[in-house]
Chain A
Amino acid sequence: MLKVDNVFASAGNKEILKGLSLEVKPGEVHAIMGPNGAGKSTLGNLLAGMPHVESQSGVIDYLGKDLLGLEPEERAAEGVFLAFQYPVEIPGVNNMYFLRTALNAQRKYRGEEPMDSAQFLRMVKQKIKDMNMRDDLLKRPVNVGFSGGEKKRNEVFQMGVLEPKLAILDETDSGLDIDALKVVADGVNQLRSPDRSFIIITHYQRLLDYIQPDFVHVLADGKIVKSGPKELALELEEQGYGWLNN
């Protein structure tokens, strides 16, 4: 599904990714861990097309397409979803309108018919029920007045509605209490399927207690320095990242 091959990228004027390679196959869940400043969020932002994050060299193939050649909205319509570490607030625009606009923009790109209001309402009501979230979320302006946990839940809810093929979760667990963490993890687990992949960027092992990854990678100084099974996360939890300096 996704093949990142020897990518160098910068954010602003600073080189962050320095020869990063990663392959994600359909249905796989990859956890990316690593110390602060290693380039984890830059990887997520690069995949989603954030301005000011630019690749200098390397190739990113996504379902046979050059991902770096696509605009952010085209990447989204092709199935790439980034759950933001710091979701932005959009006053005056309610979640329902925002999500329907986003969904229909993606459908239009794919040559599908737009979803009318009634169909959309039925669909989101069912989704919100399945994901054990409160339906007042739909009426509220996007992320305005939301607690940190509510913002992260809203990201996962958006992911549920937009049904991406590749979901990137950028420190979705940060700032969550244990109950909110379970809600978010349940939402992700419900969405796991043989044709949907996840890249989960996290600092801590605790999220991986609820979302079992297929692979864990350690990202340090702009590249992946170690990969292994889910048990690698437990080792990191015990040992920290000090061994990287040896």
Chain B
Amino acid sequence: MAGLITDWMTLAAKQLDDDVSPAWLKAKKEQALEQLSVLKTPDRKLEYWRYTDTKRLDLSGYEPSLPSELALHDRAEDCEVVTIRLHDAGFEVSENCPISLLVKSIKDINESEWIDLDFTQETVINLVNTANFCAGVTIKYNHTETSKPIKLIVDYDFSKENEWRYVRNQFQVSQNSKISIQEQWSSGQTNVVNVFDLEAGAEIQRLQQANLRTHQRLISFNQFQLAGNTAVRGVNQHLGGALQHHIHRINFNGSQASFKMGTVNKSINNNNIADLVEVNHHKKNNQSEVTHRSIADDSSQIFTNAKAYVAVGADDSQIEQDLKNILLSPGAKIFSKPELEVYADEVVAAHGSTIGALDEQSLFYLQSRGIGIKQAREIMIESFEQEALTC
């Protein structure tokens, strides 16, 4: 474990030697490498990693595994489905990609388009991405009135499952454009950084569907830059895997914007899932609503944290954090933490967190109608999940 930071730095240094990226981009990577040199590998002393087995970042004991048996919901929609497949050799875009959707390699990004991200010791694993990323895309979407709604599917499909793949994507949604973005992980051990940059009036519907195989790992950092009058509706489905560590950072940079996100964390087989949301209300009149529903069974662990920061003067902010958790076995653990840090006077904020078992009265109600206990439990869990999926 102690060698992980060295491994990451060695990899980054080697890539920099071979890197043909523009000088400004190489400089960004060198800067990240320099910052890495004074940081340490994540451990349980860090808030963001306190409830995660950090040994799982080490892939040296990797064993191939079968896909999880549990299926997550899919939603059919009437829209143009465009697929981007990220793989070892680069990426492919489906032929039906319209001209309103411009896709290029992250390596071809212009300096003016690049968005710097703040990383610290807590987010060192995401800083590693900046130093090491060699795959990913930049996407610009400019919706026109005549174009059909677009659902963009980003599929991560890396064949080498015994090494980390570092991916950085940047999504820019132009003024008043609306797009649906779905991410899914077919294979591979992925460390991904996504930046969603919404111009005024833009809207995103986003689905992060991480249904991982038993030994698959996923680290994701997702930053949303929200201009005025923007809207994000997000659903995250996190299921299975040896390790899932997700951070969503939302920056309200204008007013009259809203961010609503529902997350289902389902950990049933010694999985470790950490799901952290940081909402920064920098400006007035914005609304954030974060709903988490987590279910842990066997000896799995889930850490779920919703944090909202309201800056001085960001009055009329509305914040809601709703974290509910169900433990299905005595060996499972859930750590659930809503947090509010408010420096403005006129704010409406509500937060709540509960942890419990399935409601016995409800189970009995289902049984009393003839439904067996196993199916009754499944129905209750599905009902519980729906609260986040329909938020």
Contacts and interface: CB of A to CB of B under 8 A. Distances in A.
Interface of A: 48-52, 71-73, 75-77, 81-82, 84, 87-88, 90-93, 98-99, 101-103, 105-106, 109, 158, 162
Given A91-B383, A92-B382, A102 B369 contact: yes
Secondary structure class of chain B's binding surface, majority of residues: helix
B368 interface: yes
Contact of A91 (B365, B370, B386): B386
Contacts of A158: 369
Contacts of A88: 359, 361-362, 365
Interface stretch (B133-141, B247-255, B371-379): B371-379
A102 B360 CA distance: 18
A129 B367 CA distance: 27
Nearest to B362: A88
Contact of B383 (A48, A87, A90): A90
A90 B384 CA distance: 9
28 contacts: A48-B368, A49-B364, A51-B364, A52-B360, A72-B368, A73-B370, A76-B368, A87-B365, A88-B359, A88-B362, A90-B362, A90-B365, A90-B366, A91-B387, A92-B383, A92-B384, A92-B386, A92-B387, A92-B390, A98-B366, A98-B369, A98-B379, A101-B371, A101-B375, A103-B370, A105-B369, A105-B371, A162-B370
Nearest to B365: A88
Contact of B369 (A52, A71, A76, A92): A76
B360 A162 contact: no
A141 B365 CA distance: 14
B340 interface: no
A242 to B, nearest CB: 34
B87 to A, nearest CB: 36
B239 to A, nearest CB: 17
Contacts of B349: none
Contacts of B369: 73, 76, 98-99, 102, 105, 158, 162
B385 interface: yes
Given A71-B367, A91-B383, A98-B369, 11 more contacts: A49-B364, A50-B368, A71-B373, A76-B368, A81-B368, A90-B365, A91-B387, A92-B383, A102-B366, A102-B371, A105-B372
Contacts of A102: 366, 369-371
Interface in B146-180: none
A22 B375 CA distance: 33
B41 to A, nearest CB: 41
Interface in B286-329: none
Contacts of B360: 51-52
A76 B115 CA distance: 61
B380 interface: yes
A49 B373 CA distance: 13
A73 B379 contact: no
Residue among B366, B367, B368, B383 having the largest count of chain A Cβ atoms under 10 Å: B368
Chain B interface extent, by class: 20 to 34
A49 B368 contact: yes
B371 A93 contact: no
A105 B359 contact: no
Given A92-B387, A102-B369, A50 B380 contact: no
A105 B370 contact: yes
B244 to A, nearest CB: 23
Nearest to B379: A93
Contacts of B379: 90, 93, 98, 101
Given A72-B364, A158-B369, A92 B375 contact: no
A45 B368 CA distance: 10
Residue among A51, A87, A102 with max Cβ neighbours from chain B (10 Å): A102
Contacts of B367: 49, 71-73, 76
A46 B370 CA distance: 16
Nearest to A143: B365
A75 B359 CA distance: 21
B360 to A, nearest CB: 6
A77 B367 CA distance: 10
Contacts of A92: 382-387, 389-390
Contacts of B359: 88
B366 to A, nearest CB: 8
Contact of A109 (B370, B380, B385): B370
Q: Sorted from nearest, which 5 A-B pairs have the closest CB atoms?
A: A92-B386, A106-B370, A102-B369, A72-B367, A76-B370
B372 A50 contact: no
Nearest to A110: B370
A102 B369 CA distance: 6
B383 A73 contact: no
A73 B385 contact: no
A77 B380 CA distance: 20
A233 B6 CA distance: 85
Contacts of B382: 92-93
Contacts of A48: 364, 368
B221 to A, nearest CB: 30
Contacts of A162: 369-370
B370 A77 contact: yes
Interface string B239-261: 00000000000000000000000
Contact of A84 (B365, B372, B390): B365
Contacts of A73: 367-373, 376
